Amino acid sequence: MKKIIILVTMSLAAFACGGGGGGSSTAQLQTNPIATTASNTATTPTNNTPTATQSWDLRRVNPSAANTSQANVNAVLDHIFTDQAVQSVLVSKNGLTIGERYATGYDKDSYGTSWSVAKSFYSAAIGVAIDEGLIGSVDDKVSDTITEWQNTDKADITLKQVLQMRGGYSNRDNIFNTSDQTAHAISFPLASTPGTQFSYSNANSQLFEPILARATGLTAHQYLANKVLAPIGININNVGFWLDSTGTNPITYCCLDMRPDDFARFGLLFARGGAWDGEQIISPNYVSQSMTANGAYGYQWWVLNSAYWNGRQVPIDITAALGLNGQKIYIWPEQDIVIVVLTKYSHSANQGYVLDTQGSVTNFPNTCTARNTCPGAQGTEVPSFDQYALISLIQALGSN
């Protein structure tokens, strides 16, 4: 894939709304190879053997093996691909891949980036740390770990408030253009009384970096890799973990680079209550609370309920991890359905994963080219598909 050179202005701060990045402090996690090869525009499942049990391997099958129809799967794929910026879509049911499609030049081994979908990953890591007793509970005061907050107006902020984006931070945090993003997150001033209102803030979610590092003794990336990704079959040596421009701080509000199957594995983990092939990776209670809405938001997961749609009713309960420029993991636990959507991505692994938005040659997770939202872009933004209409199409994938 060609290396993209873009002159970046301070308007890159807009990327903070719905996205950010993450990285590791070890060489192994910083310099992982990422394959990007040519692809088919669509892939049709070929295994027609029905299965009566859940699978964990996302093997490709005919939709009939998961008690749905090819027409229903095609309807989902066709609808999502009305968005001209989409790179890939993967549809799974019962742990089986029943549909997938890729834009020209991409295939199932082409990597995408998460932007804010990563928030759900680092929330999962927090859940594991609680399970392991390294963090007491979501009711703990964050100042027990971030001791800089003791005897300040942040002293009583709880971990639950941070998880639910109710810690009192403003959504105008400009963290993406900040060099030391952890220091920025810790020192960022309160804009409201903690616990009183929802405000979607990347600085809020960057707090997971020092919380995990101080509680576990590992970097946030190392802990996520060891405790969540590897146990569900993701090769951590082939994941792009982004760091802020210091080259040392993992970014925990954004930006894991992986294949569609890897994102689907994570969705499947939450669709199945934190269990993976006989092992409980995250406690069922934490997973359930993660997908329980306070308004329209859980623990770094969106709940696509009527509050999310400003009062419009929805036929089924869908939970979603959503990221800038169209990165999505939809899960419908009741039917064991997971759908991954990734936007066309321009980044070569040899560029590395240290964020640089200030130099003449920048390094950041580039999905803005596909969406036509990069600084200085001419013309209109490439519109996404109708997300509300998609819910009924997902409902049709349920048991016939």
Give the model confidence (pLDDT) of 170-209 as tens digits. 999 999 999 999 999 999 999 999 999 999 999 999 999 9
- pLDDT (0 to 100) of residue 125: 99
C-alpha triplet 318, 254, 348: angle, nearest 5°: 115
What residues does 243 pair with on adjacent strands? 250, 354
- Average pLDDT score over residue span 317-330: 98
pLDDT surpasses 50 at 249:
yes
- pLDDT (0 to 100) of residue 157: 98
- pLDDT (0 to 100) of residue 1: 38
What three-state secondary structure class fits 47? coil
Q: How many CB atoms lie within 10 A of CB 198?
A: 14
**Integer Cα distance of 108 and 103 in angstroms:** 10
Which token pair is 226?
A: 């060891």
How far from 366 is each of 26, 114, 374, 382, 394, CA to CA, in Å?
A: 23, 11, 9, 15, 29
- pLDDT (0 to 100) of residue 339: 99
DSSP 8-state symbol, 239:
-
pLDDT, tens digit, for every residue of 355-393?
998 888 899 999 999 999 999 999 999 999 999 999 999
Domain ranges of the chain: 10-395
The secondary structure element, H or E, covering residue 113 is: strand 112-113
Residue of 367, 375, 29 lying closest to 177 (CA atoms):
375
The contacts of residue 399 (CB under 8 Å, 6+ apart) are 67, 68, 335
**Integer Cα distance of 333 and 336 in angstroms:** 5
Residue 303, amino acid: V
Indicate the pTM of the whole model.
0.90
**Integer Cα distance of 219 and 214 in angstroms:** 8
DSSP 8-state symbol, 103:
-
pLDDT surpasses 50 at 50:
no
Residue of 208, 358, 302 lying closest to 216 (CA atoms):
208
How far from 21 is each of 24, 206, 257, CA to CA, in Å?
A: 11, 9, 9
pLDDT, tens digit, for every residue of 274-318?
999 999 999 999 999 999 999 999 999 999 999 999 999 999 999
Residue 379 main-chain phi, psi, to 5 deg: 90, -170
Q: Are 141 and 158 in contact (CB under 8 A)?
A: yes
Strands (E), 224-343: 240-241, 256-258, 275-276, 279-280, 302-303, 319-323, 327-332, 337-343
The contacts of residue 20 (CB under 8 Å, 6+ apart) are 115, 116, 118, 175, 176, 202, 205, 206, 251, 252, 253, 254, 255
Classified by CATH at the fold level, domain 10-395 comes out as Beta-lactamase (3.40.710)
Residue of 205, 384, 200, 232 lying closest to 302 (CA atoms):
200
Least confident of 132-136, 289-293, 333-337, 347-351: 347-351
**Integer Cα distance of 123 and 287 in angstroms:** 10
What sign has the CA pseudo-torsion 291, 192, 209, 240? Answer: positive
Which token pair is 5?
A: 């050179």
- pLDDT (0 to 100) of residue 41: 42
- Average pLDDT score over residue span 21-27: 32
